[in-house]
Amino acid sequence: MAAPLPDGQPGKSASPLQRLDLDGHNLPPSPAPSSPRNGRRRYALATELVYTEGKDQYGASSTPIYQSATFKQTSASGGQQEYDYTRSGNPTRTHLERHLAKIMNANRALAVSSGMGALDVISRLLRPGDEVITGSDLYGGTHRLLTYLATNQQIVVYHVDTTDVDAVKARLSEKTTMVLLETPTNPLIKIVDVPSIARLAHEFNEKALVVVDNTMLSPMLFNPLDVGADIVYESGTKYLSGHHDIMAGVIACNDAAIGDKLYFTINSTGCGLSPNDSFLLMRGVKTLAIRMEKQQTNAQLIAEFLESHGFRVRYPGLKSHPQYDLHWATARGAGAVLSFETGDAAVSQRIVEAARLWTISVSFGCVNSLISMPCQMSHASIDAKTRKERQMPEDLIRLCVGIEDANDLIEDLSRSLVQAGAVNVTLDGFHANESAQSL
Ligand SMILES: Cc1ncc(COP(=O)(O)O)c(C=O)c1O
Ligand SMILES: N[C@@H](CCSC[C@H](N)C(=O)O)C(=O)O
């Protein structure tokens, strides 16, 4: 009898999805893929993250670290050798870049020394007089680099509310060469409609490059290149590596000419990722799926806990997020960064400083949970006047959720809220105080 197809219908022959072990015995069917597949991937993303192609000469199971600045040449002319000098290329970095291209759904990926290094490389595609449209809520370091370009390189930078597609449209001009987007934004967790903005920008000027900073979601949850972006970059310091033990940046694109230009800058300026850090990033990437799954689950519970106690919580996993539907139209998860307000910056500071399990640190995407006040920490490079104009609440607390036990995290947060006087304890639990409720 013909073997049933996975959907239960009888097939003419064995289903192409039927799996056999090395001895030819039937294996149980694969579980449903947890993420979409495309031409570059054979397996679900969680599998592809750990599955590496390519063979080391000794069959090493993990990527060897080629800790060598230079390579022996077989002739003075260099011959056909793939590597001559690590700034130009290194086998460990190449291995990582091929792996990243696969998981980012890209034709090419390039690994550099930090997320800001990645944006610097991309920004060298700009010429004096070019116009860049970007968000009014975005990472402080991105704002700083863009301000430098505007001040010193005659690049015109427009900061608009990128959650408003019409506001972006109104700024498009013949000179728009780049639209730079973050979603969710850091730190206000606003959602940007990348497909609509990419379509508009390309309709207006087919040469305009749509660049997406995907640090907050990682390729586990979003693939901007699939919805119209030309270039995607990420701080590999965050989710991709996951342990806060390296600085790294990743750039990916599909267009070969753009890829070559980016590589030219990396080789010329020497910001390619070191062999040792390439190894560590490769190792970190393998556990991205399992880390992100746990981090998101924890983040959802913490967001619900805070919301149930009257705080205004910004997290796309909550139905109350004003762009909940938009987020889920393209993303496969809510991520693990959320922010909330208390109504009083001094109270917020007391909460942050009362935390024990949550470490007071900038950054996010690591296995351990962090707490911070963006206006004083990650976004301090945006001056107070600009922060006010952009409606960044000085009392904002950002939580970057890790993989710890959720109850421990909630308990520590509860204690910090009580200790800081942000909530009143009653017999039936914690209740947000007046200032928090009035938000
Ligand atoms: C959204 C976002 N993009 C880019 C960066 C820059 O990354 P890196 O610190 O690796 O330079 C950061 C943080 O630093 C960030 O939060
Ligand atoms: N002092 C640093 C601050 C880095 S912030 C890191 C991360 N992007 C975050 O949002 O926490 C700087 O000035 O860049």
What is the number of the ligand 2 atom nearest to the C-alpha of 381?
13
Q: Is 139 a catalytic residue?
A: yes
Would you say residue 163 lies in a domain?
Answer: yes
Spatial CB neighbours of 240, under 8 Å, sequence gap ≥ 6: 100, 218, 234, 248, 250, 281, 284, 285, 288, 365
Q: Ligand 1 centre and the CA of 118: distance in Å?
A: 9
- 376 Cβ inside 6 Å of ligand 2: no
Rounded Cα–Cα distance for residues 263 and 89 (Å): 10
Atom number, ligand 1, closest to the C-alpha of residue 248: 10
Residue 385 within a domain: yes
- State the residue range of the domain holding 382: 288-437
pLDDT at 260 over 80: yes
Look at residue 81 in the predicted model and tell me its pLDDT: 86
Question: Would you place residue 355 in the very low, low, confident or very high pLDDT band (cuts 50, 70, 90)?
Answer: very high
Closest C-alpha to 234, from 266, 212, 264? 212
> Is a pLDDT exceeding 50 seen at residue 79?
yes
Are 167 and 274 within one domain? yes
369 within some domain:
yes
Q: Is residue 262 part of a domain?
A: yes
Q: Are 243 and 298 contained in the same domain?
A: no
Q: What is the pLDDT of residues 303-320, one digit of tens each?
A: 999 999 999 999 999 999
**Higher-scoring residue by pLDDT: 313, 31:** 313
Other C-beta atoms lying within 10 Å of the C-beta of residue 223: 26
What is the per-residue pLDDT for 111?
A: 98
Q: Which long-range contacts (CB under 8 A, 24 or more apart) does 256-265 make?
A: 256/107, 256/108, 258/125, 258/209, 258/230, 258/231, 259/107, 259/108, 259/110, 261/125, 262/110, 262/121, 262/122, 262/125, 262/231, 263/110, 265/121, 265/124
Asked if pLDDT for residue 54 goes beyond 90, the answer is no
31 versus 293: the higher-pLDDT residue is 293
Number of independent structural domains in the chain = 2
Q: How far is CA 204 from the centre of its chain?
A: 27
Mean pLDDT on 222-242? 98
Residues 280 and 346 in one domain: no
Q: What is the mean pLDDT of residues 359-366?
A: 98
Out of 285, 315, 339, pick the residue that ends a domain: 285
Please name which ligand lies nearest the alpha carbon of 138: 1
**98 part of a folded domain:** yes
Q: Are residues 240 and 361 in the same domain?
A: no
Query: Is the pLDDT at 16 greater than 50, yes or no?
Result: no
Across the chain, mean pLDDT equals 89
pLDDT above 90: percentage of residues in the chain: 82
- What percent of the chain is modeled with pLDDT above 70? 87
Give the CATH number for residue 345.
3.90.1150.10
pLDDT classification of 42: cutoffs 50, 70, 90: confident
Catalytic, 102? Answer no
Evaluate whether 311 touches 399 at the Cβ level (below 8 Å). no
Catalytic residue among 66, 139, 233, 263: 139
Let me know whether 140 and 281 are in one domain.
yes
Residues 160 and 121 in one domain: yes
Residue 400 CA to ligand 2 center (angstroms) comes to 13
Cα 189 to ligand 1 centre (Å): 15
Distance CA 371, CA 383 (A): 21
**pLDDT (0 to 100) of residue 423:** 85
Interval 412-427 mean pLDDT: 83
372 alpha carbon to ligand 1 midpoint, in Å?
Answer: 15
CB atoms inside a 10 Å sphere around CB 213:
27
pTM of the model: 0.89
Rounded Cα–Cα distance for residues 311 and 341 (Å): 7
Calculate mean pLDDT across residues 88-101: 97
Residues 262, 193 share a domain: yes
Q: Of the bound ligands, which one is closest to the alpha carbon of residue 187?
A: 2
Residues 328 and 241 in one domain: no
Question: Is 271 in the same domain as 338?
Answer: no
pLDDT at 189 over 60: yes
Measured in Å, residue 378 CA sits from the centre of ligand 2 at 4
pLDDT at 140 over 60: yes
Q: Do 304 and 218 fall within a single domain? A: no
Q: Could you tell me if residue 305 is inside a domain?
A: yes
Where are any strands of DSSP class E within 150-253? 156-160, 176-182, 209-213, 231-235, 249-253
360 within ligand 2 shell (Cβ under 6 A): no
Question: Does any domain span residue 324?
Answer: yes
Q: Is there a catalytic annotation at residue 21? A: no
User: pLDDT for 147-158, tens place per residue?
Assistant: 999 999 999 999
Pair (104, 133) in one structural domain: yes
Q: What is the CATH number of the domain that holds 134?
A: 3.40.640.10
Pocket lining: 369 vs ligand 1, CB cutoff 6 Å = no
* The pLDDT value given to residue 74: 87
Residue 64, pLDDT above cutoff 90? yes
Inform me whether the pLDDT recorded for 212 exceeds 60: yes
- Starting from the CA of residue 237, give the closest ligand: 1
* pLDDT of amino acid 407: 95
- Look at residue 22 and tell me whether its pLDDT is greater than 60: no
**Is residue 274 domain-shared with residue 321, that is, in the same domain?**
no
Flag whether pLDDT at 297 surpasses 60. yes
Q: Is 381 in the pocket of ligand 2 (CB under 6 A)?
A: yes
pLDDT of residue 424: 72
Which atom of ligand 2 is nearest the CA belonging to 215? 8
Mean pLDDT in residue range 280-297: 98
pLDDT at 80: 75
pLDDT band at 78 (very low <50, low <70, confident <90, very high): low
Supply the Cα-derived Rg of the chain in whole angstroms: 24
Is the ipTM of this structure higher than 0.90? yes
120 a catalytic residue: no
Q: Give the domain-ending residue among 252, 285, 318.
A: 285
In-domain check, residue 431: yes
Decide whether any atom of ligand 2 lies within 6 Å of the 47 Cβ.
no
Atom of ligand 1 nearest to the CA of 116: 11
Final residue before a domain boundary, out of 251, 269, 285: 285
Beta carbon of 363 within 6 Å of any ligand 2 atom:
yes
SS3 128: coil
How far is 52 from 30, CA to CA, in rounded Å?
19
Ligand 2 centroid, distance to 116 Cα (angstroms): 10
Our measurement of the distance from residue 323's CA atom to the centroid of its chain's CA atoms, rounded to an integer in Å, reads 19
